[in-house]
Structure 1
């Protein structure tokens, strides 16, 4: 059970956030976290999961600062993921920026769950009917696929570098996953063209790489195919 003192500490922190007084915000947040961590672990986790749901699913706009994420939300979400509680992996995926900037937290997760991509897959494994996770995963892959071809005709990208033949194969697999997802969530404007362009360039760029030094650039390879 959450004590009255904890609720009062939270209310004081929210007021400080709304007033935008940085020193006061930090003090009030520290007071709240300290008071919450004095409660039994189950009570801490109940509050943290309820708050995570309010942020991710219900549109609560209270900012999630690092102390709140690292000391309160992450331990509860990690425990929920370990117990395969519905929603927990998707809620943690929402905080992917905070997670990426908290290596002490990230390292506590299995490698496949250290990214929003892996967390959303976990969410769907726990609850195949989780439409919100499916939609977010589709959005994540859409952005990734758009990035991968945004420098064409110079080349196809994989992360910060030009894709290898093996990475083109992986991109084709991710494209197939994206197609399956949007067939369930609904196509957005530009998806048909994105799928068409990715399908072509993932194969064409792999063929270009396999051709060795026959062409000066991917642009010249495309020109040889009479493409503009």
Structure 2
């Protein structure tokens, strides 16, 4: 199973879940970085953040988040590739469809821990 839980893991989990959801809420239009589309470099940063989110989920015992994490990973990895080949596609939705990627991502189940500690 995971490593020992850190004191701020629940707060970090919520913060990371929020930014990941925001980055992907416009699918299949694209991946966001703030109010704009992400660059290839920013996609690499998103992947690093997703890796940390996965470690936090592991420490919190949230094994039911694996599918969500992998769907996010698919977009963070593929969006930078799409950007480098954008002229070959009508839009990101076409790129995703052609590669049988997820057209949208459902949020993971909400943990049932109490809101306050």
Whether these two folds match at TM > 0.5 is: yes
Q: How many residues align?
A: 99
Residue segments in structure 1 that go unaligned for 5+ positions in a row: 1-128
1:130 to 1:225, Cα distance in 2 relative to 1, 3 A: closer
Structure 2 residue 50 is matched with structure 1 residue 175: yes
Q: Which has the higher contact order (CA 8 A, sep 6+)?
A: 2
1:217 equivalenced with 2:91 (yes/no): yes
Equivalent in the alignment of 1:150: 25
Q: Is the 8 A contact 1:146 1:194 kept in 2?
A: no
Contact 1:148 1:157 (C-alpha < 8 Å) held by counterparts? yes
**Structure 1 residues 161 and 179, CA, compared in 2 at 3 Å: closer, same or farther?**
same
* 2:36 match: 161
TM-score norm. by structure 2 comes to 0.75
Structure 1 stretches of 4+ moved >4 Å: none
Q: Deviation of residue 226 (structure 1)?
A: 3.8
**Structure 2 portions without partners, runs of 5+:** 104-117
Higher helix share: 1
Structure 1 or 2, whichever has the larger Rg, is: 1
Indicate the RMSD between aligned Cα atoms, in angstroms.
2.0
Aligned match of 2:11: 136
In the superposition, the TM-score normalised over structure 1's length comes to 0.40
User: Structure 2 CA distance, aligned partners of 1:198 and 1:130?
Assistant: 23
State the distance in 1 between where 2:25 and 2:82 align: 17
How far apart, CA to CA, are the structure 2 residues paired with 1:188 and 1:226? Answer: 24
